[in-house]
Amino acid sequence: MSFAVMIVDDSPAMRAFVRRILDMSGLEISRCLEAGDGSEALRLVRQNPVNVILSDINMPVMDGEELVRELNADPELRHIPVVVVSTDRTETRVQKMLALGARGYVTKPFLPEALRQELEQVLEVVHDRD
């Protein structure tokens, strides 16, 4: 099974890093979209459905918290799981993002294996639901 992924981060370098990890992950990625903030991510995902979104929190225009809120408020999009990728490792923030509807949380810096495992876990959940 192949997956469409969206990477949301205001850092082009981090987006390239994550894309590189996805390329090496062994997962079959059919399409990898990139967005620089939550607003661009929403615009893109409405036109190009994806299986999972990997999103930073701290971004200009629309941050990751607002992105998760917007996705969950949209009946067409709320099924898309979001894995948060952030430097903020406080338990308060982790629990807040999970309560808002994020499915996973990976703190930067992270080993490629950690992101791959999180992604596999989330995608398996989606697969089971399908």
Report the interface residues with other proteins, using CB under 8 A: 10-14, 16-17, 20, 58, 60, 87-93, 107-111
DSSP symbol at 80: S
What is the closest distance, in whole angstroms, from the C-beta atom of residue 16 to other proteins in the complex? 5
* DSSP code at position 78: T
DSSP 3-state of 109? coil
Closest to other proteins by CB, 45 vs 84, is 84
Residue 105 gets which letter from DSSP? E
Query: CA angle at residue 74 from 69 to 76, to 5 degrees?
Result: 135
Q: Around 36, how many Cα atoms within 13 Å sit in the side-chain half-sphere? A: 5
Q: How far apart are CA 113 and CA 32, in angstroms?
A: 19
Residue 36 Cβ vs other proteins, minimum distance, rounded to whole Å? 11
Using the structure block, give the residue that is written with the tokens 């697969």. Answer: 127
For other proteins, the closer CB: 19 or 79: 19
| Least Å from the CB of residue 23 to other proteins | 9
- If the CB atoms of residues 70 and 110 are measured against other proteins, the closer one turns out to be 110
CB closer to other proteins, 10 vs 74: 10
Q: How far is the CB of 116 from other proteins (least distance, A)?
A: 14
